[in-house]
């Protein structure tokens, strides 16, 4: 709330506030949120199923494969959120 007025006065477009608000500081989490996965679910997936994925050299096919393998390993609610995002 304190940074929002300063960001509004800034001439440059900066997405740092939206990243902070979303809790999406990793590339994988931002990618999942951009694909339509809800924020909490994206953070959970990053911390569990995608914890071993290299942040520097992202392989989006590897991420898709790991997410598709989650069907029997996560709750039905989480998997339905992933499916509704089209992943």
pLDDT for 77 beyond 80: yes
Range of the domain at 56: 25-84
User: 73 or 5: whose pLDDT is higher?
Assistant: 73
- Residue 50: pLDDT band with limits 50, 70, 90: confident
What are the tokens at 62? 């590897």
Domain count, the chain: 1
Q: Could you tell me if residue 74 is inside a domain?
A: yes
pLDDT tens-digit map of 2-29: 666 766 666 666 666 666 666 677 888 8
Angle between helices 39-47 and 76-84 (to 10 degrees): 110
On whether residue 14 sits in a domain, the answer given is: no
Within-domain flag for 12: no
Q: What is the Cα–Cα distance from 38 to 45, expressed in whole angstroms?
A: 11
Would you say residue 49 lies in a domain? yes
Task: Evaluate if residue 61 carries a pLDDT over 70.
Answer: yes
Asked if the structure places residue 10 within a domain, the reply is no
Residue 13 CA, distance from chain mean position:
21
């Amino acid at each position: 709330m304190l940074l929002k007025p300063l960001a509004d006065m800034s001439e440059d477009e900066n997405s740092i506030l939206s990243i902070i608000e979303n809790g999406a500081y990793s590339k994988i989490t931002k990618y999942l949120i951009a694909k339509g996965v809800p924020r909490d679910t994206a953070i959970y997936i990053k911390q569990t199923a995608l914890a071993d994925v290299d942040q520097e050299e992202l392989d989006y096919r590897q991420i898709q494969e790991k997410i598709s393998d989650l069907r029997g390993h996560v709750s039905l609610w989480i998997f339905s959120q992933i499916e509704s995002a089209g992943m």
